[in-house]
Chain A
Amino acid sequence: GAVVSQHPSWVICKSGTSVKIECRSLDFQATTMFWYRQFPKQSLMLMATSNEGSKATYEQGVEKDKFLINHASLTLSTLTVTSAHPEDSSFYICSAARTSGDEEQYFGPGTRLTVT
């Protein structure tokens, strides 16, 4: 149990286009999901905290109009990178925190975004 999936696992898009990344908790409900960004050979940096039914809370320095986060249900959060540029190329990882029980958070496998 406690599986988090991300789709797609890898995406290439052209500069100026938008791309949506999905994060799903497959076998549990998650009130809170987190979105992280990982640059090559670097650490994970928190981008935003996503709570079901409310607006996401963005970390300082993260453009909320560029990285749109929607947490429409207890099992799905989406990250949309709008008007993507090559500098947005990165590895995006989500995690989902259980609503109840062990209150652990579980990480998805990540999505590799390449903007050409």
Chain B
Amino acid sequence: AQSVTQPDIHITVSEGASLELRCNYSYGATPYLFWYVQSPGQGLQLLLKYFSGDTLVQGIKGFEAEFKRSQSSFNLRKPSVHWSDAAEYFCAVGAGTASKLTFGTGTRLQVTL
């Protein structure tokens, strides 16, 4: 069965500091991996996705993620966090971009000024 683990429930960083959110997955086949952000009152927004090719993926809002097959990880990073990045972040895995997804439990990011 497929699963996604986000070990960090809550992370607090200072504005301008770097950020890394961890994601580990379990999937039987070649996975499509996603990072979504959820802000209060808004739907999930896709930050980036990975299926194949370059293992370092660039997304929107200055985010990037690195796929490491040997570690079954797909960690999300941002060099310099902005206060507006405070939100809930979800890692997800699926069979395709338009397929059903299995989500991790999410990481709530708090940004201090």
For residue B44, which residues in chain A have a CB less than 8 angstroms away from its CB? 44, 93, 95, 107
* Cα separation A14 to B105 with both chains bound (whole Å): 30
Contact A109 B104 (CB under 8 A): no
Residues in A with CB closer than 8 Å to B101 are 34, 44, 46, 105
Name the residue on A nearest B42 (C-beta): A109
Give the chain B neighbours of A4 by CB distance below 8 A.
43
Which interface class (under 10, 10 to 19, 20 to 34, 35 or more) fits B? 20 to 34
The reply to whether B105 and A43 contact each other, CB–CB distance below 8 Å, is yes
Chain B stretch 79-113: residues in CB contact (< 8 A) with chain A: 90, 96-106, 108
- Asked if A42 is at the interface (CB within 8 A of a chain B CB), the reply is yes
CB pair A104 B46 closer than 8 Å: yes
Using an 8 Å CB-CB cutoff, how does the interface string of A97-112 with B read, 1 for contact, 0 for none? Answer: 1100011111111100
Are the CB atoms of B102 and A102 closer together than 8 Å? no
Q: Which B residues touch A25, using CB under 8 A?
A: none
| Secondary structure call for the A interface | strand
A98 to B, closest residue via Cβ:
B98
With A43-B106, A44-B90 known as contacts, the answer to whether A97 contacts B43 (CB < 8 A) is: no
Q: How far is the CB of B69 from the nearest CB of chain A, in Å? A: 23
Q: Is the CB of A107 within 8 A of B98?
A: no
A43 near B41 with CB under 8 A, answer: no
Q: Which chain B residues border A78 with CB–CB below 8 Å?
A: none
Do B43 and A32 have beta carbons less than 8 Å apart? no
**C-alpha spacing A110/B101, complex, angstroms:** 16
- B100 and A46 within 8 A (CB): yes
CA distance A76 to B9 in the complex (A): 34
Give 7 closest A-B pairs by Cβ, nearest first. A97-B98, A107-B43, A107-B44, A109-B43, A103-B98, A43-B105, A43-B103
Cross-chain pairs A/B with CB under 8 angstroms, 5 sampled: A44-B44, A104-B98, A105-B97, A107-B36, A110-B43
